[in-house]
Amino acid sequence: MSLIKTKSLCKTFKIRKLTIPAVENLEIQIEQSDFFALVGESGSGKSTVIRLLLKLITPDSGEILFKGKNIWNLEKDDLKTFYKSIGVVFQDPYASLNPRLKVFSIVEEPLRIHEKLSKEEAELKIKKIFSELGLDEDLINRYPHQLSGGQRQRVAIARALILNPDILMADEPLSALDISLQSSILNQLIEIRKKRNLSIFLITHDLNVVRAVSNRIGVMHLGRIVEEASTEEIFKNPLHPYTSLLLRSIPGFHRKSRKKIPKLTTETKNAWFLKGCRFYTRCDKRMPICNENVPQLKNMNGRKVRCFLY
């Protein structure tokens, strides 16, 4: 049974007179111990997906199953298990760490809510996760503002992992940090994932960040998943023109074949309302049919692509 599975999940937002289909017929599946990365440019709907999966917003239609159960029909005990099974990290650790609490209280809080542990037992757990994340034990007596950016985000991750969840969901958790810090934290997460059989659902706009760490990638473009495949397949043989564009825009990638790095332009509001493929105006392979009909997500030998070229 999948850890998380969505069925035709839809969410629209009304902005003045416009209705934006921020998430349209989303079908994703995250298995136990998967490292699934959801990638796409700003405004493609990634954060809306994570907010839906966390039950922070209500979908317009569709289902979200957690271990086979619809998260909107969970009874009290199952709901508690649901929240305990998911650790969450957001982009801005300043916003997620209570500035008035010391690091110890911040990381201990989920334990207080979900587990009845003595102070010594809690301290032992906190020290263990701190050592796995390369955090100095002495930091437990500091306040968030006394930490560096990297330390703050590690503390946020420690808090998210303290209950030993099944899955860590993270929305751009590292994008404010420099590249070397990003890769050191990602490597620690890989180790923790192996040890604890942890699944990771990571949102990022940067394909390069997840290249060495994720095992599956979903590429999202204006509310629709346009391609989903193993990380290896995405990098070796991207099928969707949008995935190719994202890859070509990584500096240093495909150096020989690339004439220049294409600049990623952001979509105009109009692209949301194109009758067919929403990538039509930016696609160098577009055909007349692409502007007439909506391409469907097709299964192709274990991978999926939404494009009339296939």
Residues 202-241 within binding reach of ligand ATP (CB under 6 A): 205
- From residue 32 to residue 71, the character string flagging contacts with ligand SF4 as x (rule: CB under 6 A) and all else as - is ----------------------------------------
Query: Under 8 Å CB-to-CB from 195, ≥6 apart: which residues?
Result: 132
Query: Under 8 Å CB-to-CB from 18, ≥6 apart: which residues?
Result: 269, 272, 273
279 binds, among ligand SF4, ligand ATP, Mg ion, none (CB under 5 to 8 A by kind): ligand SF4
Q: 251: burial class by Cβ within 10 Å (0-12, 13-18, 19+)?
A: exposed
**48 touching ligand ATP, by CB under 6 A:** yes
Q: Shortest Cβ contact with Mg ion: which residue?
A: 47
Separation between Cα atoms, residue 200 and residue 215, nearest integer Å: 10
**173 touching ligand ATP, by CB under 6 A:** no
β-strand partners of 7:
63
DSSP E strand boundaries for the chain: 4-15, 18-26, 29-30, 35-39, 61-66, 69-70, 86-89, 167-171, 199-204, 216-221, 224-230, 298-300, 303-305
**59 touching ligand ATP, by CB under 6 A:** no
Q: Where are the alpha helices (DSSP H) in 59-212?
A: 76-84, 93-96, 103-114, 119-132, 149-161, 179-196, 207-210
Residue placing its CB nearer to Mg ion in the complex, 46 or 152? 46
- Minimum Å gap between C-beta 44 and Mg ion is 8
**150 touching ligand SF4, by CB under 6 A:** no
241 binds, among Mg ion, ligand SF4, ligand ATP, none (CB under 5 to 8 A by kind): ligand SF4
Which bin fits 45, alpha (ψ -120 to 50), beta or left (φ > 0)? left
Separation between Cα atoms, residue 90 and residue 94, nearest integer Å: 10
**91 touching Mg ion, by CB under 5 A:** no
Binds ligand ATP (CB under 6 A): choice among 7, 13, 123, 176: 13
Separation between Cα atoms, residue 295 and residue 280, nearest integer Å: 11
**Amino acid letter, residue 103:** V
Residue placing its CB nearer to Mg ion in the complex, 59 or 295? 59
Q: Which of the stretches 46-54, 124-132, 142-150, 283-291 binds ligand ATP when contact is defined by CB under 6 A?
A: 46-54
Residues in the chain: 310
Binds ligand SF4 (CB under 6 A): choice among 7, 114, 248, 286: 286
- Minimum Å gap between C-beta 47 and ligand SF4 is 23
**165 touching ligand SF4, by CB under 6 A:** no
Phi, psi of 98 (to 5 degrees): -60, 115
- From residue 258 to residue 277, the character string flagging contacts with ligand SF4 as x (rule: CB under 6 A) and all else as - is -------------------x
186: tokens are 């990602």
Q: Coil, strand or helix: which one is 107?
A: helix
Q: Tell me 32's DSSP state.
A: T
307 binds, among ligand ATP, ligand SF4, Mg ion, none (CB under 5 to 8 A by kind): ligand SF4
**48 touching Mg ion, by CB under 5 A:** no
44 binds, among ligand ATP, ligand SF4, Mg ion, none (CB under 5 to 8 A by kind): ligand ATP
- Contact residues toward ligand SF4 (CB under 6 A) are 241, 277, 279-280, 283, 285-287, 290, 295, 307-309
- Contact residues toward ligand ATP (CB under 6 A) are 13, 15, 20, 22, 40, 42-48, 205
